[in-house]
Amino acid sequence: RNYFKDGSHLGVNISYATQSKLEGTADAIGYGKDFIEDSLITLNGDIILDVDILSEIIEDYEKSKPDTLMVLTEVEDPSAFGVVELDGDNVINIVEKPKREEAPSNLINTGIYIFNKDIFDKIDKTEVSPRGEYEITDSLSLQIADGKVVKGHKTTKEWMDIGKPWELIEINEELLNHIEGEIKGTVEEGVTIHGEVFLDEGSLLRSGVYIKGPVYIGKNCDIGPNSYIRGNSYFGDNVHIGNAVEIKNSIIMENTNVSHLSYVGDSILGSNCNIAAGTNIANLRFDNKTVKTTIKNKKTDTGRRKLGAIVGDSVKTGINSSLSPGVKIGVRATIGSGVLLYEDLESDMRVLVKQEHIFQNKKETGQISLEEAEENKEE
């Protein structure tokens, strides 16, 4: 909504319906019932795709006129997706996240559809899934059982799914490889830039900053002095990067501050975060193996040898805190000074170091002589 607004600048009229409760994909699509006269295109919100796919499927739908057109793509391992079974071009079965050896094919549901109005009738009849949601794939199964035509449209064009947090980093790597450098902001003397770097209006690179692109820096950012930025890094608007900070292959969202003498590698920092001086986010295991992280109480291999932290919005760290590879931190969490965090921290939680202090009288322990003490007193 923030991007498209009412659509007038694009020559269209856009209306919005807000899902009051997050009760699944079928429930969300059902909110469009009163807006649709004929057919509709829906896309999952967590995918990146080649826009030509949309032109391709509209042409196919207009020619073949199925009740539903579902976009499919072939993957090596379909076990993390909804997998389809075809009879010719028609989908006859959908299996959610099967074991690899039990998958009916390597063709998966991309989350891109064209529906006619029949889908709303099937949504009304869809029951709650074991996950407690109304699933659009269950609505499609009702269409298939009712003899409706659900056509599978295979595409080889670019499509990427963002189902897991670290996949945002992979998407960012891919997208930044296509940017063209442009300097709209201010670059002080003594800044070094290599590769494609986009610096938006109002942003400032202070003296001593060294950047190896591709790097995207949004509006009104303040970088440096003496900072090192490299490796497919993205900075939203109003980001501040302090003195002697290194950012590598990371996503820093808007209004976030990374103070001096900090390191952020292969990480995501949400918006409105304050990363205190001396905070270090580790991105590499001692044994050089791929980083594992916890998803639904199970350790999951990310497949990435380098992965730092996934940090939610409005998180604050204290000075000299350290985050281990693969750690996830929820929104509004606080990490105290000197903490070494090696497990996930939930939203609205705070973690502090428990310390034991020993106070000693230096005269009594012989660390300072009585003569020195008297001299210091006189001074």
Contact 287, 269 (CB under 8 A): no
DSSP structural state of residue 284 = B
- Give yes or no for a contact between 147 and 35, defined as CB atoms under 8 angstroms apart: no
The answer to whether residues 318 and 329 touch, using CB atoms and an 8 Å cutoff, is no
How far apart CA 198 and CA 108 sit, in angstroms, is 36
Interatomic CA distance for residues 227 and 316, integer angstroms:
21
- Whole-angstrom Cα Rg for the chain: 27
Q: What angle do CA 373, 378, 379 make, to 5 degrees?
A: 100
C-alpha to C-alpha distance for 262 and 280, rounded to whole angstroms = 5
* Known active-site residue 260: yes
Catalytic pick among 9, 178, 194, 260: 260
301 burial class (0-12, 13-18, 19+ CB within 10 angstroms)?
exposed
Q: What does the alpha-carbon distance between residue 86 and residue 109 come to, in Å, rounded to a whole number? A: 12
CB 276 within 8 A of CB 316: yes
User: How far is residue 288's CA from residue 299's CA, in Å, rounded to a whole number?
Assistant: 17
Q: Which residues are catalytic?
A: 260
